[in-house]
Structure formats: structure tokens, C-alpha cells
């Protein structure tokens, strides 16, 4: 079995990509209210700050900052996945392995994590989150995608509604972090 090593920094800021198992499904946007409830429930039990977030039909990108002395983002993602899974109808196809284990076939087992290193890295990843609906061709402007923290960033005056991504985020798009 592979040895997955996670970088854990108490109070750290992290970028995540979390995917559905079946990437052609659109469960996340079809069941956005269930996802929002799952996140709210987990945040209430195990607080964290959502710096940036985008929900696409089949995957999520997020930037979180954890409380000081806390580095357990894995448990939070596990709980979000579990709560969301319990809230939606069973319509997925199960592999024999998942069926034998009594699992659902909603999420990929793992997720991608990157520890934010500095302000430039933070800005590039937040921009990448907000640019992602454009990258995948869902909209032509970030402001047109409803499932994004972009709207909160605009409302707080951090970025204009006609925002164009930074060069740092451009490099992430070219690297294919999705």
C-alpha cells in the first residue's frame, strides 16, 4: 500500500482538491444544499476558516486555515464526505470491493493537499479556486458561477466583480493541479 505523507502544520493554511469517484457525475452541484449542510455541521463541531471555496459538479477546491494547534484537516474532510454521503440518495454504481466493505461509491478515497507557503502562494491558490469554473468552461466570468467564495471576496472589496486571475494562478492552471 502506498505511504501517503501529509504535511501537517498546526494553524496552517492549506489548498485542497476533493473529487467524486465518478468524475462525470454532477452530484455536488445537484445536491449543493446537502453539501452546505455537511460543511456547516463539520465546521460547528471542528472549526476551521474557509478562505476560498469553489464547488464544481464533480470536485471541490478549497483553501482553509485551521485553528492554532490544530492540523487535522483529514478528519474534517472525512466528516464532510460522510455527512454529504448520508444526505443523498443511493444512485451510484458500486464496485465489488466497495459493496463488500459496505461503502458508498461517491468520493475518491484520497484528496490532494498543498500547504500554503507564503502570501504569493496563498494569492495564487485563492485565484486558482476562483478561476476554476472558467478553466472547465462552465462560465466565461468568475462572477457568473454561483457556487464559489468569489462572491464573498467581491462583497468584502478584496477583488472586483470583473476580476482577472493573477500570473501566479496562471502557472497553477498550466501545471494542471486539477
Instruction: For 62, list phi and psi in degrees, rounded to 5.
Output: -150, 150
* C-alpha cell of residue 83: 455527512
Burial class (CB within 10 angstroms; exposed 0-12, middle 13-18, buried 19+) of 173: middle
Give me the torsion for CA of 143, 168, 23, 38, rounded to 10°.
-60
CB atoms within 10 A of CB 1: 3
Conformational region of residue 118, where left means phi above 0, alpha means psi within -120 to 50, and beta covers everything else: beta
Q: Which residue numbers are catalytic?
A: 147
Amino acid at each position: 500500500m502506498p505511504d501517503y505523507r501529509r504535511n501537517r502544520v498546526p494553524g496552517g493554511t492549506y489548498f485542497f482538491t476533493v473529487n467524486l469517484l465518478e468524475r462525470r457525475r454532477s452530484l455536488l452541484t445537484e445536491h449543493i444544499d446537502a453539501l452546505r449542510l455537511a460543511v456547516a455541521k463539520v465546521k460547528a463541531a471542528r472549526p476551521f476558516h474557509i478562505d476560498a471555496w469553489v464547488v464544481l459538479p464533480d470536485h471541490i477546491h478549497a483553501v482553509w486555515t485551521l485553528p492554532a494547534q490544530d492540523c487535522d484537516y483529514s478528519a474534517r474532510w472525512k466528516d464532510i464526505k460522510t455527512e454529504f454521503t448520508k444526505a443523498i440518495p443511493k444512485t451510484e454504481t458500486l464496485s465489488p470491493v466497495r459493496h463488500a466493505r459496505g461503502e458508498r461509491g461517491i468520493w475518491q478515497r484520497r484528496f490532494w493537499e498543498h500547504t500554503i507557503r507564503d502570501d504569493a502562494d496563498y494569492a495564487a491558490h485563492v485565484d486558482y479556486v476562483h478561476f476554476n469554473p472558467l478553466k472547465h468552461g462552465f462560465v466565461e466570468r468568475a462572477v457568473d458561477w454561483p457556487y464559489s467564495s468569489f462572491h464573498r471576496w467581491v462583497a468584502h472589496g478584496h477583488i472586483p466583480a470583473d476580476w482577472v486571475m493573477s500570473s501566479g494562478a496562471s502557472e497553477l492552471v498550466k501545471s494542471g493541479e486539477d
